[in-house]
Structures are given as structure tokens and as C-alpha cells.
Amino acid sequence: MSKFLNIFAPAIGGAGLILGAAYAIPTKNFRAEEAALAMEQAAAAEARAAAAEARIAEEAARAAEEVAALQAAAATAGPSDSGDPAPAGVTYTLGRTALPEEVAAWDIDIRPDGQGLPVGSGDVWTGEEIWIAKCAACHGDFGEAVGRWPVIAGGEGSLATDDPVKTVGSYWPYLSTVWDYVHRAMPFGEAQSLTDDEVYALVAYILYSNYVVEDDFTLSSENFTEVVMPNEGGFFMDDRAEAEIPLFSEEPCMENCKDSVEITARAVILDVTPDDPTDDTPASAPAEETAEAVDEADPATAETDEAPAEEVVTDASIDPALVAEGEGVFRRCSTCHQIGEGAVNRTGPHLNGIMGRSIGVMEDFRYSNVMADAGTEGRVWTEDEMAAFLADPRGYMRGTKMAFAGLRSEEEVTALIAYLTAEGG
Ligand code: HEC
Ligand code: HEC
């Protein structure tokens, strides 16, 4: 079976149906082997359970004896003030001293320098056999994982990509963690059922499947610390106390740290900023940008086909493709505005006949003061006015209650104006 691994390691990449067929034969044998192993495991687990039960009974008897002895001692000592901490020499009748075996059962951590490792060893091929029997069902024959169980091997060089694959080989810095983890937690559902030598062998196999060691490798408590994990250099000790903290001033400012605080942007795109017509100091920076945007927009809008650049546009010669494009852009307006036959006021006024009309004069619509005033002043929706407004409504008309961030591209503005002209009549 060991031979098959050699053949198959390259085959995982997707080579060869023939190899796939050959693989079916040993797989059958595995099934039988696996079944036998499972029976063996079940028997072993039963034996462990029985032993544990006996042990618990023994302990319970011992604890009962202890409690009885302590109660007797407490009775002769007489009553003590219940609120006070126990005076020296007096114990509460709670718990008992942990047995050395119990401490040992908890004390199983293995450190990077090898501290805590039991004496023992195991080689790659022994490890492979145990792996196939006890681990491959979830982690795959070569650590490539079955379904969504964790991947154990591979992923080299993937950490800095968008799709990092963190495995023992690509990611884990210390071999002690592998030994500790497998010994402590695996096989999943039957934790701590492996012998020390089995763990050594499995760790050797995991190293082999990550190309860290050759197939003739034997891992032992002797050579354990000599193994260097590929990504060890990817980890370093937390050095923030020296590396980062000195970069901050000795006494960081914690209050009133800025001379003045200004609102420089509003979340208008999300439309979460409440409309406030009385507020005439909105985003100042965008307003400046608008001035530029308007200048830039001019030539573009003037280009709108043969339409007269200055005034009212009701020209049938408008480019239909441009109108169609504008219709697409209008979807962003249509949450609030209607246009065309049967259009009515919604959040915003309907836009029929808007081009060339005075600003803010639809009778049954309540405009903001600023928009109504613009109309009173005699301002009209020329292409220039419209282009400037659509590029940045709030920068162009401070205090408008049209909660729309503005159109970024001149192309969209041009197309939309063509659409408003054609559709609005
Ligand atoms: C029933 C499925 C199953 C079996 C069998 C199994 N494992 Fe696991 N293994 C898991 C799961 C699930 C995790 C992740 C557990 C978690 O993150 O809490 C895991 C995690 C691991 C990890 C850490 C992976 C990582 O990158 O975090 C290693 C190493 C490992 N298993 C080794 C083994 C070995 C060796 C065996 C055989 C002795 C084994 N497993 C058997 C399911 C399984
Ligand atoms: C979130 C709702 C909303 C969106 C989206 C919106 N508007 Fe408005 N629009 C309004 C409101 C409200 C007014 C009235 C503004 C005021 O009174 O200050 C208005 C006013 C206008 C006016 C002035 C109407 C008039 O009669 O003077 C025009 C033109 C206009 N919008 C065009 C557009 C276009 C084109 C779009 C899409 C690019 C758009 N709006 C997107 C809500 C919206």
C-alpha cells in the first residue's frame, strides 16, 4: 500500500484515469481492513469505559470516607463564625486533592522546545497505515481533505494570495503544535485514544505529505526539535512594546485634541443623512468640486447633437441611442421622480416639461425654500443649469431637499438631459 502513495501523490493533480482504476483495488482491501479496525477500536473503547467506571467507583468511595472524616473533625472543633474566611488549619469540606494521575491527564501540553514530549518514535509508513485507518476518512488519503473537513497538507505559497490555504505545511510554525493537537484532539470524536508512538508516526506522515521529510523518515523524541517547519519564519514574537508603542507620543491627547471639528462629507448616497433645509452649510469640499465639474460639463452638454445649446430643447432630432442611455440613467431618479404620460408627484415633482421651465414652479409640490426662490428669481432649467444640478445637487443648490449624491460622469448627465428632453416633452 505504501507504494500507492508514491504513485498517487502526483496523480492528485488530476492525472490519469488508469491510476484511478488501479486505486479501486487497494480501496476494497481498505474497506475490509477498516471494518476490522473499527471493531478493534470499539472493543478497546469498551474496555476503557469499563476501567474508567471501576476507577470512578473507587474514587467515590474514597471521597465519601474523606468527607466523613472531615465532618467528624468539624464536629469536635465546634461551630465557627460562618461569615469569616476559614482560619488557618481549617478546611471546607469541598473537593479533594487532585490525584497525580489526574494532574498527569491534564498536563499534556508540548512546547516548541520539546518540553513535555514523551519518549517514543514512529516512521512515515507506520504513520500512513494509521492515517488511512483513522484519519483519511475525514482528511483524505494525502491530507487533501474529504468534502469540507480540514485540509492538512498543501497550500504552499498560498498565504499571501486572496485564497490562502492554511495547513500544517503552509502555515503552522511549530511541530510541537502538530504533535500536541493530534494527541489531544484527534481522531475527531475519539480524542486521546492514540498511543504516543502512534502520534509520532502520524506526525511523521503529516510531515511527509507536506514534503517536509522523505519517506524513510522516523520521528522521535530525540530528533523532534531538529525539524524546521516551512512557515516558521512567518511568525515572530510580539514586539509591539518596542516596535510600535514608542512611535506614539509619550502623553497621547485624549480630549479636545482638534481646534475645530467640521463635517466634511455626508452619507447622501445611502440617503441616511436627514434632510434639513435650514442647514445651509453642507459639505464644503464637494461644493468646490462642483464648480470644476460644472466648467468641465459645459462643452460636453453643448455637444448634445444639433440641439440649441442655450435654451429650450424640444428637438425630435435628438440621438435615440443617447436617449436610450439616458433612460437607463433615469432609473436612479425613478425612486423619487416620474416622467412621461400619467406622471405624478412623488418624493420629487414629476418631470414632464422640465427642460426650459422655470425652476421650482410645479404648483402642487412643496419645494425647499432655495429651489422655490430660484424660480422666483426667474432661473430656468437650461441644459447648463440642469447639468450642474445633476452633477452635484447639494453643492449646486445648497439646501435643496433632493437627497441625491449626483452623477459622476458627464456622459451620464448628457444622456439623461437628452432623455428628459425627449420623454418630458
Ligand atoms: C471524523 C472526522 C475526523 C477524523 C477521523 C480525524 N479528524 Fe482531524 N480534524 C477534524 C476536524 C473537524 C478538525 C477541526 C477541529 C477544530 O477546528 O476544532 C480536525 C483538525 C485536525 C488537525 C488540525 C488542522 C488545522 O489546520 O487546524 C489535524 C492536524 C488533524 N485534524 C489530524 C488528524 C489526525 C492525525 C487524525 C487521525 C488520527 C484525524 N485528524 C482524524 C476531523 C477529523
Ligand atoms: C431621493 C429622491 C430623489 C432622487 C433619487 C432624485 N430626486 Fe430630483 N428631486 C427630489 C426632490 C425632493 C426635489 C425637490 C427639491 C427641492 O425642493 O429642493 C427634486 C427636484 C428635482 C428637479 C427640479 C424640479 C423642478 O420642478 O424644478 C429636477 C430637475 C430633478 N429633481 C431631477 C432629478 C433627476 C434627473 C434625478 C436622477 C438623476 C433626480 N432628480 C433624483 C428628489 C429626488
Q: What is the pLDDT of residues 115-144, one digit of tens each?
A: 999 999 999 999 999 999 999 999 999 999
Q: Which CATH number fits domain 284-424: 3.30.70.270, 1.10.760.10, 3.40.50.2300, 3.40.630.30?
A: 1.10.760.10
DSSP state of 225: G
- Ligand 2 atom nearest to CA at 368: 17
Ligand 1 pocket: which of 188, 194, 195, 231 to mutate (most atoms within 8 A of CB): 188
Q: Is residue 220 helix, strand or coil?
A: strand
At residue 218, φ and ψ (nearest 5 deg) are: -120, 125
Ligand 1 atom nearest 172 alpha carbon = 26
pLDDT for position 314: 47
pLDDT at 242 over 70: yes
Give the model confidence (pLDDT) of 21-49 as tens digits: 344 444 455 567 777 888 888 888 888 88
Ligand nearest to the CA of 386: 2
Contact between 175 and 224 under an 8 Å Cβ cutoff? The reply is yes
Those residues whose C-beta lies under 8 Å from the C-beta of residue 417, and which sit 6 or more positions away, are 301, 304, 326, 355, 383, 386, 387, 390
Kindly report, residue by residue over 271-329, the tens digit of the pLDDT: 666 776 665 554 444 444 443 333 444 444 444 444 444 444 445 567 889 999 999 99
Alpha carbon distance 379, 74 (integer Å): 99
Best substitution site from 139, 171, 190 to test ligand 1's pocket, by max atoms within 8 Å of Cβ? 139
Which residues, 6+ apart, have CB-to-CB distance to 219 below 8 Å? Answer: 121, 122, 123, 200, 201, 203, 204, 207, 213, 227
CATH architecture of residue range(s) 119-252 = Orthogonal Bundle (1.10)
Q: Are 279 and 399 in contact (CB under 8 A)?
A: yes
Whose cell is 463564625? That residue is 81
**CB neighbours (10 Å) of residue 8?**
18
Q: Is the pTM of this model over 0.75?
A: no
Q: 233: which DSSP letter?
A: G
